C-alpha cells in the first residue's frame, strides 16, 4: 500500500488526507462511511515484529480507556499487510503548538487538572502512558484537552526493571530518573513527566537540556541535578504552583505525589478560594481576601530527635542503604559520562565505586556495572591509550565475576555481550604479555 489516500479500509474507513508522519506510523484524516463521521486513521509504516506488537499494545490500551480527556479508539486491524488503528478525530493543536500569548495562568492550570484527571483514570485501569509530552496532548477549539498516543503505554503488571536491555523509550527530556536507572517505572513516572511539561509551559523551557544534544548529560541531570526553581525563570508563577511542580519533579518517586488525583486536587485548590494553613499539621482555613492560595499539606514526618532511639536506628539503616544505592546509580552515570568524554581515570573511579556499593546489595546491577567497567577498559585500549596489564586483568576479572550472575538470572543479551567482551580482553592480554 504505497499511497493509501483514496482507499477504503475494511470496506468502511475511507482515507482522505495525510495529517502527520511519525517515525513508525502515519496518521490520516478519514471518513467512517457507515456512521458518516470523520475519524483519524493511524497506519503503521514500520513492519518489524517488535513494532507491530507495540502498535497492537497501543490499540488494546486505548480500547480500555473511555474518558473525555483521552482520545478514543474505535477499531483496529490489518489491511494490505499494514496494521491500522481507527481513532476519534480531533480538530485542534498540540499543547506545544499553542503560543505563550494565548495561555493565561488559569487556562494552563485547568489544562493540567484535566490531564491529571485523565491519567488518574488510566492508572486506575492499570495503564501508564510512559510518553507524556506536549506533542501528545491535544487542545480542542473549546479548550478541552485530549491525551493521545498510548503507543508506549504498558500495563503496570507487565512492567519490569527495564523494557529490554539498554532500551529507553519515550522522549529523553520528559522521562523520570528511574527510567534511566533500570528501576521499576509506575504511575509516578507519568507524574514526573507531567511535572516536566508543567515546568516547560510555565517557564518556557524544560528543566534539563543540552545545548549540543549530549543525551548522556541530560540523563545525568535528570538523575542527579536539582531543577532550577521555576520562579527563578518566571517570577509570575505563584509560589504554591512552584511547590507543586517541584514535588512532581522529585528524583525519588516516594517523594513525589503518589497519585494523579492528589496532584489534580492541589491544582484545583489554586483556582478555589484562597486558603491558609493553620497551626497544627495538615489543617487549613479559608482566609477571605488572601492574596495567594495555599494548598493543604500532609502531616510532616517526625523529626529525627522526636523518633524513639530504636526507630532511629532502623530508619538510619533503611535510608542509609537506599542512599548508598542511589549513590551507586549516580556513579554509574558519572562513569558513562566520563567514558563519553574519554576521561578514563574518572570513569574507572566512578564505576569501581558503583561496583563496591552494588556488591552484596544488588547482584544484577553489580554484574552490569562490572561489564561497563570492562567495556571502558577495552574502549581505552582500542583507542590506543596506554593501558597497563593490571587494568586488563581487572577487566577480565570483572567479566568473569559478572557472567555467572547474568547467566543465572537469564540476562541472555548481556551474557552474550559479556562473553564476546571477555574473549576480546583475553586476546588483548595475550598481546601485552
Q: What are the residue ranges spanned by the domains of the chain?
A: 8-88, 92-286, 311-432
C-alpha distances (whole Å) from 2 to each of 5, 6, 361 are 9, 12, 54
Copy the grid coordinates of residue 41.
Answer: 486513521
Give the span between the Cα atoms of 144 and 194, in whole angstroms. Answer: 17
Give the span between the Cα atoms of 291 and 257, in whole angstroms. Answer: 26
Instruction: Give the HSE-up count for residue 2: Cα atoms under 13 Å, Cβ half-sphere.
Output: 0
Report the predicted TM-score, pTM, of the whole model to 2 decimal places. Answer: 0.63
pLDDT at 168 (0 to 100): 44
**216/419: higher pLDDT:** 419
Give the span between the Cα atoms of 310 and 84, in whole angstroms. Answer: 60
pLDDT average, residue stretch 147-169? 51
pLDDT average, residue stretch 393-401? 93
23-48 in b/e burial notation, b at 16+ Cβ within 10 A? ebbbbbbbbbeeeeeebbbbbbeeee
Residue 113 has pLDDT above 90, yes or no: yes
pLDDT at 255 (0 to 100): 93
pLDDT at 23 (0 to 100): 62
C-alpha distances (whole Å) from 176 to each of 152, 195, 197, 408 are 14, 10, 12, 29
pLDDT band at 1; cut points 50, 70, 90? low
Give the span between the Cα atoms of 222 and 173, in whole angstroms. Answer: 8
φ/ψ of 112, rounded to 5, equals -75, -30
C-alpha distances (whole Å) from 198 to each of 71, 108, 139, 146, 368 are 21, 9, 15, 16, 35
Question: How much of the chain, in percent, has pLDDT values that exceed 90?
Answer: 35
DSSP of 145-210: EEE--GGG-EEGGG--S-SSTT---S-GGG--HHHHTTPPP-HHHHHHHHHHHHHHHHHSS-SS--
pLDDT average, residue stretch 106-120? 95
Give the span between the Cα atoms of 145 and 112, in whole angstroms. Answer: 9
pLDDT at 158 (0 to 100): 46
pLDDT at 2 (0 to 100): 67
Give the span between the Cα atoms of 170 and 128, in whole angstroms. Answer: 13
Residue 157 has pLDDT above 60, yes or no: no
**315/140: higher pLDDT:** 140
Instruction: Tell me whether residue 131 is one of the annotated catalytic residues.
Output: yes
Residue 306 has pLDDT above 60, yes or no: no
Copy the grid coordinates of residue 430.
Answer: 595475550
- Contacts of residue 68, defined as CB under 8 A and 6 or more positions apart, other chains included, come to 144
φ/ψ of 284, rounded to 5, equals -135, 160
pLDDT at 89 (0 to 100): 92
Residues 265-288 have pLDDT tens digits of 999 988 875 443 333 333 332 322
Count of residues making up the chain? 433
Residue 396 has pLDDT above 90, yes or no: yes
16-25, 230-239, 320-329, 378-387: which has the minimum mean pLDDT?
Answer: 320-329
Give the span between the Cα atoms of 424 and 64, in whole angstroms. Answer: 49
Residues 164-214 have pLDDT tens digits of 433 444 478 898 998 877 777 789 999 999 999 999 999 999 999 877 667
Distance in Å from the first CA to the final CA of the chain: 60
Per CATH, which fold does 8-88 belong to? Answer: Phosphorylase Kinase; domain 1 (3.30.200)
Residue 407 has pLDDT above 80, yes or no: yes
Selected catalytic residue, list 131, 149, 190, 331: 131
CATH assignment of 311-432, among 3.30.750, 1.25.40, 3.30.530, 1.10.10: 1.25.40
Q: With beta carbons less than 8 A apart as the criterion, state whether 16 and 8 touch.
A: no
Identify the CATH number of the domain defined by range 92-286.
1.10.510.10
Residue 258 has pLDDT above 60, yes or no: yes
Copy the grid coordinates of residue 423.
Answer: 574473549
Nearest Cα to Cα of residue 102 among 132, 68, 67, 139: 139
pLDDT band at 76; cut points 50, 70, 90? confident
43-47, 139-143, 278-282, 305-309: which has the minimum mean pLDDT?
Answer: 278-282
pLDDT band at 315; cut points 50, 70, 90? very low
pLDDT at 30 (0 to 100): 94
pLDDT at 320 (0 to 100): 47
pLDDT at 172 (0 to 100): 83
Nearest Cα to Cα of residue 95 among 122, 67, 114: 114
Residues 348-391 have pLDDT tens digits of 998 999 899 888 778 888 999 999 999 999 988 888 878 888 99
Q: With beta carbons less than 8 A apart as the criterion, state whether 240 and 292 touch.
A: yes
With the C-alpha atoms ordered 4, 5, 7, 12, is the resulting torsion angle positive or negative?
positive
Residue 7 CB burial class (10 angstroms; 0-12, 13-18, ≥19):
middle
Copy the grid coordinates of residue 132.
Answer: 507524556
- Contacts of residue 387, defined as CB under 8 A and 6 or more positions apart, other chains included, come to 377, 380, 381, 428, 432
**Centroid of chain to Cα 242:** 21
Residue 333 has pLDDT above 70, yes or no: yes
DSSP of 23-36: SSEEEEEEEETTTT
Amino acid at each position: 500500500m504505497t499511497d493509501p489516500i483514496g482507499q477504503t479500509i475494511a470496506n468502511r474507513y475511507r482515507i482522505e488526507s495525510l495529517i502527520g508522519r511519525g517515525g513508525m506510523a502515519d496518521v490520516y484524516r478519514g471518513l467512517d462511511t457507515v456512521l458518516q463521521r470523520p475519524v483519524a486513521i493511524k497506519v503503521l509504516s514500520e513492519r518489524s515484529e517488535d513494532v507491530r506488537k507495540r502498535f497492537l499494545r497501543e490499540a488494546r490500551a486505548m480500547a480500555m480507556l473511555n474518558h473525555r480527556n483521552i482520545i478514543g479508539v474505535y477499531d483496529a486491524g490489518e489491511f494490505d499487510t499494514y496494521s491500522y488503528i481507527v481513532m476519534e478525530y480531533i480538530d485542534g493543536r498540540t499543547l506545544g503548538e499553542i503560543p505563550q500569548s494565548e495561555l493565561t495562568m488559569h487556562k494552563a492550570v485547568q489544562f493540567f487538572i484535566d490531564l491529571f484527571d485523565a491519567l488518574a483514570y488510566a492508572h486506575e485501569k492499570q495503564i501508564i502512558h510512559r510518553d507524556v509530552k506536549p506533542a501528545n496532548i491535544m487542545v480542542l477549539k473549546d479548550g478541552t484537552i485530549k491525551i493521545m498516543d498510548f503507543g508506549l503505554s504498558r500495563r503496570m503488571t507487565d512492567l519490569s526493571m527495564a523494557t529490554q536491555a539498554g532500551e529507553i523509550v519515550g522522549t529523553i527530556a520528559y522521562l523520570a530518573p528511574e527510567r534511566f536507572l533500570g528501576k521499576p517505572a509506575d504511575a509516578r513516572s507519568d507524574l514526573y513527566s507531567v511535572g516536566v511539561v508543567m515546568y516547560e509551559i510555565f517557564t518556557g523551557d524544560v528543566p534539563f537540556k543540552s545545548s549540543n544534544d549530549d543525551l548522556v548529560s541530560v540523563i545525568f541531570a535528570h538523575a542527579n541535578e536539582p531543577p532550577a526553581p521555576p520562579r527563578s525563570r518566571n517570577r509570575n508563577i505563584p509560589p504554591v504552583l512552584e511547590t507543586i511542580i517541584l514535588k512532581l519533579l522529585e528524583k525519588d518517586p516516594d517523594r513525589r505525589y503518589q497519585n494523579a488525583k492528589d496532584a489534580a486536587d492541589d491544582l484545583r485548590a489554586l483556582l478555589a478560594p484562597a486558603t491558609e494553613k493553620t497551626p497544627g499539621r495538615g489543617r487549613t482555613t479559608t482566609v477571605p481576601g488572601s492574596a495567594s492560595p495555599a494548598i493543604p499539606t500532609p502531616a510532616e514526618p517526625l523529626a529525627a530527635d522526636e523518633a524513639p532511639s530504636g526507630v532511629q536506628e532502623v530508619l538510619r539503616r533503611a535510608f542509609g542503604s537506599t542512599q548508598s544505592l542511589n549513590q551507586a546509580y549516580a556513579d554509574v552515570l558519572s562513569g558513562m559520562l566520563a567514558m563519553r568524554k574519554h576521561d578514563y581515570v574518572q570513569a574507572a573511579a566512578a564505576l569501581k565505586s558503583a561496583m563496591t556499593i552494588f556488591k552484596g546489595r544488588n547482584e544484577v546491577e553489580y554484574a552490569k556495572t562490572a561489564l561497563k567497567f570492562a567495556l571502558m577498559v577495552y574502549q581505552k585500549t582500542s583507542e590506543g591509550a596506554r593501558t597497563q596489564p593490571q587494568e586488563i586483568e581487572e577487566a577480565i576479572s570483572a567479566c568473569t565475576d559478572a557472567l555467572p550472575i547474568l547467566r543465572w538470572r537469564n540476562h541472555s543479551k548481556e551474557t552474550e555481550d559479556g562473553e564476546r567482551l571477555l574473549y576480546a580482553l583475553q586476546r588483548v592480554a595475550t598481546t601485552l604479555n
